[in-house]
């Protein structure tokens, strides 16, 4: 009979579901990146915020890490996850509590007529003791739950690191977007000033009855009005950028204080040699969080299967029981009790099996989410590397376009003033010149933003962990 019981227990233990093990380096991770971008010879040897050479940007990033409410809320959730791990691990140890109780009861003697006797009596009873209980983790179910909670705690830490890195990227992008919008305002002011001089020149000649027609005067006036409208739009965009940066820094969204004192976009050198896909898999905190969640769900699956197995518990502890409260400490009234129990679920309406099926589905979903996160991360790297090449080419072409269009606009206006070219060509050449300058600024900002995206996609550190 004992042998049969032992065989039955082994058979039950063998029915515990096993989680699916997924190793991305065997299936999804290539040996190198597909896109070949121009890059430096050495890997990134500094923190990427510092690579822009702007100490004010560094201080703004540190301020965001200290004050951004979303990041602070994420930090609190890390503490919550840590306490949940402590709670899950506490079940491995015995629980103990001290109890003291007292009762006083009265009973009536009905049907007993004792001459001169009482028809009721009162009794008192007091007890105290230390009650111990301990569920023996015979199958490792509680250990699985504790390890799962630890994995989720590690995942929450990785989530915090990912949020911190993402916030640094947002601050840097907002910083350079502010610098770009400030430079765009300079172009818009120059455009408005130029068109204002053009309109004054044409109107003066028209009023004196010289060459310009009414059409030319109205055209110059219309272009000036549009330039003023674009200037107002540019100011609106710049103020929105100011408020966006203030929000990231955890401050009131005000435009009174412009933090970006540089007013210029940095010149980018070649990007450093990127880490390999395998190195990126280990570096990115969001991928670590997804992996921890996958491993935790696997442990939850094992624990859910073990809930179908018998559980073993020990109860008891020392105590005292007496008729008077002051006698509880008397050694003559000391007591103790030890009890053991075995509990085997038999019928719960299919709840335990449903819990196991749910845990299995959650574990499979966590595996697929991890795969998806890896593929999206690699796509981000490939897109950033590809855009690095194309944006550099676009910037180089636009620099040439700005030089040529500026010269063409100047020559065209001089020809108009001499009467050998119509105003339509002159104004169109000026528009193309200003548009080329504006596009060049936008591409420079996009290239900086893409470089930030590359740093984020590779999981490179923005600044030292401790400042």
65: closest CA among 176, 169, 137? 169
Label residue 218 by pLDDT band (50, 70, 90). Answer: confident
Taken in order of first residue, the domains within the chain and their CATH numbers are 17-90+141-309+364-458 (1.20.1600.10)
Helix 55-67 vs helix 69-90: crossing angle, to nearest 10: 50
96-126: b or e for each residue (b if 16 or more CB lie within 10 Å)?
A: eeeeeeeeeeeeeeeeeeeeeeeeeeeeeeb
Label residue 39 by pLDDT band (50, 70, 90). Answer: low
**pLDDT for 205:** 73
136: closest CA among 337, 353, 340? 340
Distance, CA of 188 to CA of 195 (rounded, Å): 10
- Residue 245 CB partners (closer than 8 Å, separation 6+): 60, 171, 174, 175, 178, 259, 260
- Measure the CA angle with vertex 253, ends 252 and 258; round to 5°: 105
| Residue 26 reports pLDDT greater than 80 | no
Do residues 306 and 356 touch, judged by C-beta distance below 8 A? no
Place of tokens 């200037």: 231
Distance, CA of 248 to CA of 67 (rounded, Å): 9
Distance, CA of 406 to CA of 125 (rounded, Å): 104
| pLDDT tens track for 227-279 | 999 999 999 999 999 999 999 999 999 887 666 555 678 888 877 788 888 98
Mean pLDDT for 367-375 is: 93
Mean pLDDT for 42-66 is: 85
> If 0-12 CB within 10 Å is exposed, 13-18 middle and 19+ buried, where does residue 36 land?
exposed
Mean pLDDT for 437-463 is: 94
In this structure, the strands spanning 95-108 and 120-136 are antiparallel
| pLDDT tens track for 140-153 | 898 999 999 999 99
Task: Give the number of other CB atoms < 10 A from CB of residue 311.
Answer: 18
**pLDDT for 30:** 85
Mean pLDDT for 52-58 is: 90
| Residue 352 reports pLDDT greater than 50 | yes
| Residue 4 reports pLDDT greater than 50 | no
Q: Looking at 336-340, 359-363, 368-372, which range is the least confident one? A: 336-340
- Residue 304 CB partners (closer than 8 Å, separation 6+): 17, 352, 355, 356, 358, 359
| pLDDT tens track for 274-298 | 888 898 888 999 999 999 999 999 9
The predicted model scores a pTM of 0.85
Distance, CA of 117 to CA of 122 (rounded, Å): 14
Complete edge-to-edge strand list for the sheet that includes strand 311-322: 95-108, 120-136, 311-322, 334-343
**pLDDT for 263:** 64
| Residue 13 reports pLDDT greater than 60 | no
| Residue 14 reports pLDDT greater than 60 | no
Distance, CA of 169 to CA of 163 (rounded, Å): 10
| Residue 198 reports pLDDT greater than 50 | yes
- Residue 265 CB partners (closer than 8 Å, separation 6+): 176, 179, 180, 183, 441, 444, 445, 448
Q: Helical H runs in 102-213?
A: 141-207
- Residue 320 CB partners (closer than 8 Å, separation 6+): 127, 128, 129, 327, 328, 329, 330, 333, 334, 335
| Residue 350 reports pLDDT greater than 60 | yes
Mean pLDDT for 173-182 is: 93
Mean pLDDT for 153-169 is: 95
**pLDDT for 336:** 85
User: What average pLDDT is seen over the chain?
Assistant: 85
Direct distance between the N- and C-terminal alpha carbons of the chain, in angstroms, rounded to an integer: 67
Mean pLDDT for 344-356 is: 87
Mean pLDDT for 378-382 is: 93
What is the percent of the chain with per-residue pLDDT over 90, rounded to a whole number?
45
Length of the chain: 467
402: closest CA among 373, 438, 375, 378? 438
| Residue 10 reports pLDDT greater than 50 | no
DSSP string, 339-363: EEEEE----STTHHHHHHHHHHHHH
Place of tokens 């915020």: 49
**pLDDT for 6:** 45
| Residue 52 reports pLDDT greater than 60 | yes
Mean pLDDT for 185-197 is: 90
Q: Looking at 108-112, 123-127, 181-185, 421-425, which range is the least confident one? A: 108-112
């Amino acid at each position: 009979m004992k042998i049969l019981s032992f065989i039955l227990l082994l058979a039950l233990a063998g029915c515990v579901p096993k989680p699916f093990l997924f190793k991305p380096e065997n299936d999804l991770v290539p040996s190198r990146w597909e896109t070949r971008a121009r890059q430096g010879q050495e890997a990134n040897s500094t923190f990427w915020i510092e690579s822009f050479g702007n100490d004010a940007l560094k201080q703004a990033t540190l301020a965001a890490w200290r004050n951004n409410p979303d990041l602070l809320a994420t930090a609190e959730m890390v503490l919550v996850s840590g306490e949940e791990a402590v709670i899950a691990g506490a079940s491995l140890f015995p629980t103990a509590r001290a109890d003291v109780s007292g009762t006083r009861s009265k009973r009536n003697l009905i049907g007993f007529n004792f001459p001169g006797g009482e028809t009721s009596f009162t009794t008192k009873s007091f007890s105290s003791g230390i009650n111990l209980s301990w569920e023996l983790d015979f199958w490792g179910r509680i250990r699985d739950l504790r390890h799962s909670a630890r994995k989720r705690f590690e995942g929450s830490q990785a989530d915090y690191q990912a949020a911190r890195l993402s916030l640094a990227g947002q601050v840097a992008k907002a910083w350079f977007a502010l610098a770009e919008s400030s430079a765009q305002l300079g172009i818009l002011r120059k455009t408005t000033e130029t068109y204002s001089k053009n309109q004054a020149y044409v109107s003066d000649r028209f009023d004196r009855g010289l060459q310009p027609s009414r059409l030319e005067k109205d055209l110059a006036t219309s272009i000036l009005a549009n330039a003023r409208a674009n200037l107002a739009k540019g100011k609106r965009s710049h103020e929105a950028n100011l408020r966006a940066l203030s929000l990231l820094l955890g401050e009131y969204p005000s435009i009174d204080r412009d933090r970006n004192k540089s007013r210029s976009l940095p010149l980018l050198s070649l990007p450093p040699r990127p880490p390999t896909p395998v190195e990126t898999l280990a570096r990115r905190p969001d991928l670590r969080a997804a992996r921890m969640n996958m491993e935790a769900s696997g442990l939850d699956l094992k624990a859910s299967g073990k809930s179908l197995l018998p559980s073993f518990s020990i109860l008891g502890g020392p105590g005292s029981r007496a008729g008077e409260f002051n006698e509880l400490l008397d050694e003559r009234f000391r007591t103790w009790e030890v009890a053991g129990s075995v509990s085997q679920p038999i019928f719960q309406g299919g709840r335990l099996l449903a819990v196991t099926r749910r845990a299995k589905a959650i574990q499979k979903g966590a595996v697929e989410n991890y795969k998806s996160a890896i593929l999206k991360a690699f796509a981000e790297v490939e897109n950033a590397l590809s855009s690095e090449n194309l944006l550099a080419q676009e910037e180089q072409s636009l620099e040439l376009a700005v030089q040529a269009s500026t010269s063409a606009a100047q020559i065209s206006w001089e020809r108009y003033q001499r009467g050998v070219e119509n105003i339509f060509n002159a104004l169109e050449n000026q528009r193309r010149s200003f548009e080329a300058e504006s596009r060049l600024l936008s591409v420079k900002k996009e290239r900086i933003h893409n470089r930030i995206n590359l740093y984020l996609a590779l999981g490179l550190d923005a600044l030292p962990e401790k400042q």
